[in-house]
Amino acid sequence: MDNWTKAFEIVDLTGYVWRSLLISVASAILTLLIAVPAAYAVVRLQVGAALGSITLGSYIAPPVVALLPLFFLLRKLELLNSFPGMILVYGLMNAPVAYWLMRGFIKEVPRALDEAAWIDGAGYLKTFLVIDLPLLVPSMISTALIAGILAYNEFLFASAFAQNPSVRGLTVGISLFQGERLVNFGQMAVASIAGIVPIYLIALLMQNRLVGGLTAGAVK
């Protein structure tokens, strides 16, 4: 039990968790803003058919390949060691995953609904916002949860682009329990459990939406 008190005394564990949650939630919102319209345009409007292959191709190379280009880009934009910089990186990084998830969900929405709206005079934008978007809310929530968890668990970019302690997230905070010759396994385990709790509670509270999104279209 001493590990629990020492873990919070040695490191600002609560602050690391809150910062990780802030970055992951904001980046998940940004990911949806990019992925949902892109997937809708490809599936419904038949625009940019090669977008799927391009987004999938971005996952072929390991993330370390993008480390230096992103570092210099963020430095040029003066976004290093900042929350907007981390949110931008994670929001773009998880867009391909969200795109492929939303692409499948949008295909399950009957196209007849869009065609009926078009016959009644609704434009593409109104059809998307009024007809399709409300039906996609459960799917968007499940996609946002996945994108948020991916951002919450990421370590490479967090350690490279957030050198300022006021921006560091939980994964970097856990690594601080490892020294050059000694690893505080007990305190590291405490930090890991403390980091799991918020994600577990969010998934527990959102389980109905999550299951509804993952099973969308299974039953007509």
What pLDDT is attached to residue 114?
Answer: 86
User: Please, what are the domains in the chain?
Assistant: 2-214 (1.10.3720.10)
Rg (CA), the chain: 20
Query: pLDDT per residue over 102-161, tens digit each?
Result: 988 888 888 888 888 888 888 888 888 888 998 888 889 888 988 999 999 999 999 899
Question: Residue 74 pLDDT more than 70?
Answer: yes
Share of the chain above pLDDT 90, in %: 28
- Whole-prediction pTM: 0.86
Question: Residue 100 pLDDT more than 70?
Answer: yes
Question: Residue 32 pLDDT more than 70?
Answer: yes
Q: How confident is the model at residue 218 (pLDDT cuts 50, 70, 90)?
A: very low
